[in-house]
Amino acid sequence: MNTLSKKQKLFLGILFDLIGMISYGFPLIDVVWAPLSAYLMINLYKGNVGKLGGLVSFLEEAIPGLDFFPSFTLTWCYVYLIQRPKTT
């Protein structure tokens, strides 16, 4: 998943956030989606950003009532809009 473009990652992030929000209607989806969302986040964004994003995504899906938090989209915004490029 690391070879995806910025636009592809944004599209997938929005899609994954929408899947996470489905659990408002079907709460049992969180049992499967919480660990899967963490796995997807870790593979979508490498390094510490992916690890922290995976943890946040897992907790957001596992704790009832936090499903509104768009963790994938916010991680994309952090990586591509906020984070400063590394200088060598």
Specify the pLDDT at position 70: 93
Q: Is residue 39 one of the residues assigned to a domain?
A: yes
Question: Which residues span the domain enclosing 54?
Answer: 6-82
Decide: 20 and 86 in contact? Cβ < 8 Å.
no
pLDDT for 88 equals: 52
Amino acid at 61: E
Distance, in Å, from the CA atom of 6 to the CA atom of 21, rounded to the nearest integer, reads 23
Q: What is the pLDDT of residues 18-69, one digit of tens each?
A: 998 887 788 788 889 999 999 999 999 989 999 999 999 999 988 888 878 8
How many distinct structural domains can be found in the chain?
1
* Residues 6 or more apart whose Cβ sits within 8 Å of residue 79: 45, 49
- Whether residue 26 lies inside any domain: the answer is yes
Separation of alpha carbons 59 and 38, rounded Å: 9
Domain-located, residue 1: no
Q: Is residue 88 part of a domain?
A: no
